């Protein structure tokens, strides 16, 4: 019987990346508020902390149906060339402002947390806990007269910075350096290596 990854994310993009990679998963919904108010944390520390908060929430939700569980959470944040961090836009005006600021280039960081835990005598033993942040840099070239059409097509409220580099948004990406899948929400190369370390594929 193949292992199933318990995914603490409702991101359509993350789910599609796992499907494309033939990694079986089950979505575990959660209600973690994706916002960090601590100003003394770095960009990487903030996105990793959100991924960790999601993990803490998910581990409390999941029952004991399986004696061995592989749990994955992730979070993605973006920042523009001035260092300002952008989350998911709440309104169309906010998304428009984000896209305008990000035309000068930006950085995306996706952090993930993978845990393998084993049920022993009604208690959980964590065998693997793997955390990693993966960054990518990009240059966005979306002229003013394209922005409204972009916002009509792209589900901007579901995406960090309102920016997507695949599907409709791909035509406005001039350059990418680093992990393409990290920008999409899940750095597949690093996640696959972490799953191998945790022996996910040994079933």
Q: Are 154 and 162 in contact (CB under 8 A)?
A: yes
- DSSP lists the bridge partners of residue 25 as 5
Encode pLDDT of 3-48 as tens digits: 999 999 988 889 999 999 999 999 998 777 656 666 688 889 999 9
Encode pLDDT of 40-95 as tens digits: 888 899 999 999 999 999 998 888 878 899 999 999 988 888 888 887 888 999 99
Domain that holds residue 64: 5-197
Lowest mean pLDDT among 4-13, 38-47, 106-115, 139-148: 38-47
- DSSP lists the bridge partners of residue 190 as none
Distances (CA, A) of 103 to 4, 51, 111: 39, 27, 23
182 lies in some domain: yes
Which tokens is 99 given? 């896209």
Mean pLDDT over 173-185 rounds to 92
Task: Give the model's pLDDT for residue 38.
Answer: 62
Residue with tokens 């696959």, as numbered in its chain: 192
202 lies in some domain: no
162 lies in some domain: yes
Between CA 25 and CA 6 the distance in angstroms is 6
179 lies in some domain: yes
Task: Give the model's pLDDT for residue 121.
Answer: 83
Burial class for 85, CB neighbours closer than 10 Å (0-12, 13-18, 19+): middle
Q: How far apart are the first and last CA of the chain?
A: 6
- Does position 104 have pLDDT exceeding 80, yes or no? no
135 lies in some domain: yes
Task: Give the model's pLDDT for residue 33.
Answer: 65
Q: What is the pTM of this model?
A: 0.88
> Looking at residue 51, which CATH number applies to its domain?
3.90.950.10
Domain count for the chain: 1
**Average pLDDT of every residue of the chain:** 90
- Does position 178 have pLDDT exceeding 80, yes or no? yes
Between CA 51 and CA 35 the distance in angstroms is 11
142 lies in some domain: yes
172 lies in some domain: yes
Task: Give the model's pLDDT for residue 54.
Answer: 93
25 lies in some domain: yes
Give the count of beta carbons closer than 10 Å to the beta carbon of residue 118. 14
Task: Give the model's pLDDT for residue 37.
Answer: 63
Task: Give the model's pLDDT for residue 78.
Answer: 87
- Does position 125 have pLDDT exceeding 80, yes or no? yes
């Amino acid at each position: 019987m193949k292992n199933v990854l318990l995914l603490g994310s409702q991101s359509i993009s993350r789910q599609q990346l796992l499907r494309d990679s033939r990694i079986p998963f089950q979505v575990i919904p959660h209600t973690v508020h994706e916002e960090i108010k601590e100003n003394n944390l770095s960009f990487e520390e903030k996105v990793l902390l959100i991924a960790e908060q999601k993990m803490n929430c998910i581990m409390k939700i999941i029952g004991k149906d399986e004696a061995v569980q592989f749990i994955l959470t992730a979070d993605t944040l973006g920042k523009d060339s001035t260092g300002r961090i952008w989350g998911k836009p709440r309104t169309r005006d906010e998304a428009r402002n984000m896209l305008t600021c990000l035309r000068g280039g930006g950085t995306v960081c996706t952090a993930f947390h993978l845990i393998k835990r084993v049920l022993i005598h009604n208690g959980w033993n964590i065998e693997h806990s793997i955390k990693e942040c993966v960054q990518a840099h990009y240059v966005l070239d979306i002229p003013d007269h394209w922005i409204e059409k972009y916002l009509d097509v792209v589900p901007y409220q579901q995406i960090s910075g309102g920016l997507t580099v695949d599907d409709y948004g791909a035509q406005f990406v001039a350059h990418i350096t680093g992990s393409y899948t990290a920008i999409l929400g899940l750095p597949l190369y690093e996640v696959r290596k972490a799953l191998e370390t945790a022996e996910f594929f040994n079933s």
